[in-house]
Amino acid sequence: MSRNAYLCIFYAFHLGIICGFRHDRITNIPQKIDRRKTENFMKSFAPITLIFLAVLSVLTSCVKTNVTKEPVYVFASDATWPPMEFVDENGDIVGFDMDLLAAIAKEAEFEYEVRNTGWDGIFAGLANGSYDAVISSVTITDERKAAMDFSKPYVNAGQILVVPADYEGSEVLSDFAGKTVGSQQGTTGDFVIEDAEGVIRKAYDEVGLAIEDLANGNLDAVVCDSITAVDYVVGNEAYAGKLKIVGQPFTTEEFGIAVQKGNDELLELINVGLAAIIADGTRGKITEKWLR
C-alpha cells in the first residue's frame, strides 16, 4: 500500500472519531424541543456536515493521487511530403504514415498525438526529448541507428517502374532491353538503369521531366523511388489515367519509425502493433489506399 493510501486511512479514521463524538451529542435530544433547542440542534449538526465533506475531500484526493494516468506519446512528422504525410484542406495531418500510426496505436492500445515539425531540426528534437518518436518517411541507416532506435521497417520505398497506363508486359527492368527508360541523373534509379544490360538509358535533370516525357509517349518507362512514383501517378491530376506503377521495388530503401534512444517501452509497443497490422492485412490496405 502506498504512503498516500496510509495517510487517507489515518485522516478518515480520526475524522470519523470526531464525527462519532458529535453524533453522540445530538442523538440524545429530547422528543419535545422548543424553537431555541431546534436552533441549537441545527448549530450542532452544521459542524458534522463540514466534517463529512472534509472526509470526502480527503478520500477523493487520495483516490486521484493513486490513479495512474496512461502516457500520451508525442510523434513528430514533417507533413510536407504527400502521399506519406501532408496537411489537407481541413488543416489535418493525413497520409500513409498517419493511417499506419493510427492502426498501430489501436492494436498496441496506446494514446498519441502528432506534432508537425520541420525536417531540419526533427532529429535534434528527438534527441533532446521534445517528443518521443518521429514518423516522417525516415530511411533506416546505420548512421541514424547510432543516434536513435528504429521500429521494424514498415515500407520499402525502393526504385520502381512507371509505365503508360495501357502497358501490358513484364514488370522487371531487365526485360526492357532495347527499350528507352528514363530517370533523374545521378540518382539510385539512374545507376540501376546503367547496370541493366541492353536497356537504353535517358537521364534528366529532374524526375518530373522524365515523367512528362513518358506521358507524352517519348519513353517506355521511368525508374524512380516508389514514393515519388505514387506522387506523380496518383497525386498529380495531370497524369490521371495516363500512367501506372508496375511490379515491386527492386532496391531497398526501408522506412521505420524513429524512437528516442533507450525508450524500449514505446519501441516494443510500436513493433507489436506493426506486426499485428502486417499479419491481419491492415498495412496492405493502407498501402493500396495511398501508394498504388
pLDDT tens digits for range 242-287: 999 999 899 999 999 999 999 999 999 999 999 999 999 999 999 9
Dmax over Cα atoms in the chain, in whole Å?
116
Asked if pLDDT for residue 120 goes beyond 70, the answer is yes
User: If 0-12 CB within 10 Å is exposed, 13-18 middle and 19+ buried, where does residue 44 land?
Assistant: middle
- 204 neighbors 184 (Cβ within 8 angstroms): yes
Q: Bridge-partner residues for 259, per DSSP? A: 133, 149
Which structural domain, as residue segments, surrounds residue 127?
72-155+254-291
H or E element at residue 87: strand 85-87
Residue-level pLDDT at 291: 85
SS3 49: helix
User: Could you tell me which of 231, 106, 67, 95 has the C-alpha nearest to residue 162?
Assistant: 231
Tens-place pLDDT, residues 228-243: 999 999 889 999 899 9
What CATH number is associated with residue 84? Answer: 3.40.190.10
User: Do 25 and 133 share a structural domain?
Assistant: no
Same domain, 265 and 134: yes
The conformation of residue 53, written as its DSSP 8-state character, comes to H
Q: Are residues 265 and 147 in the same domain?
A: yes
One domain for residues 196 and 86: no
- Contact (CB, 8 A) for 131 and 115: yes
Instruction: State whether 80 and 222 are in the same domain.
Output: no
11 shares its domain with 151? no
The pLDDT score that the predictor gives to residue 197 is: 95
Q: What does the pLDDT read at residue 135?
A: 98
* Domain total of the chain: 3
Q: Please give the average per-residue pLDDT across 11-40, as a whole number.
A: 48
Closest CA to 189 of 210, 215, 167: 210
Burial category of 119 from C-beta neighbours within 10 Å (exposed 0-12, middle 13-18, buried 19 and up): middle
Within 8 A by CB and 6+ apart from 16, the residues are 55
Among the ranges given (47-51, 192-196, 203-207, 211-215), the one the predictor scored with the smallest mean pLDDT: 47-51
Could you give phi then psi for residue 55, rounded to 5 degrees? -60, -45
Same domain, 206 and 177: yes
**Same structural domain, 147 and 182:** no
pLDDT, averaged across the chain = 84
Please indicate, yes or no, whether residues 76 and 144 belong to a single structural domain of this protein. yes
The answer to whether residues 134 and 242 belong to one domain is no
Alpha helices per DSSP H over 28-141: 35-66, 96-108, 122-127
Cβ(157)–Cβ(269) below 8 Å: no
Identify the pLDDT of residue 57: 57
193 pLDDT above the threshold of 70: yes
**Which residues have CB under 8 Å from 189's CB, separation 6+?**
159, 183, 207, 223, 224, 225
137 and 180 both lie in a single domain: no
The reply to whether 89 and 16 lie within a common domain is no
Higher pLDDT, residue 16 or 124:
124
| Digit-coded pLDDT (tens) for 29-86 | 444 445 555 455 455 545 555 554 554 554 455 444 445 568 999 999 999 988 999 9
